[in-house]
A = this chain, B = another copy of it.
Amino acid sequence: MFASQDPDPRLAAARTAPHPCASWPDNGQGIRDTIDRVGDKWSILVIGILGSGPLRFGALYEQVPGISQRMLTLTLRHLERDGLVTRTSYPEMPPRVEYALTPLGEGMRETAYAFVQWATDHNPEIEAARLAYDTRTTR
């Protein structure tokens, strides 16, 4: 599959010994899910908001602009399943449910924060690059 034939010796070299770190530590296995959890539309927002302290469903619903009830429910379920968020329901009338970050979730939040920070800092460059690209290809 790999060693069958190699017209270009550079390809063989590139495949066998490129650099110490050819890619990510994991690459393509379980990490995918964790990244997806952060990459999905709402999770990071929820985690960011919960970083300031526990909140009820309704409060969360108000603080995440544009989310639907369904998506908020699903997002919270996923986060709970992954051990990032705890769900505490108080059997009262009317029902009250509070969501809070676990220590694991707090760690995730801090790590994600670093990336958000980077994205914020470099957003101007990225926007500029997009503008340049668009004008270049449109013209």
Chain B residues near A126 (CB, 8 Å)?
A: 33-34, 82-84, 104
Whether a CB of chain B sits under 8 angstroms from the CB of A55 is yes
CB < 8 Å neighbour of A35 from B25, B27, B84, B116 = B116
B-chain residues with CB within 8 Å of residue A81 when the two chains form the complex:
129-130, 133-134
A57 to chain B, nearest CB (A): 12
Contact B133 A80, beta carbon cutoff 8 Å: yes
Contacts of A33 in B (CB 8 A): 126
The residues of A with any CB-CB pair to B shorter than 8 Å are: 5, 11, 14-15, 18-19, 21-28, 30-31, 33-36, 38-40, 44-45, 48-49, 51-53, 55, 59, 62-63, 65-66, 80-84, 104, 107-108, 111-123, 125-130, 132-134
The 7 closest A-B pairs by CB, nearest first: A39-B39, A83-B129, A19-B52, A34-B119, A111-B118, A23-B48, A81-B133
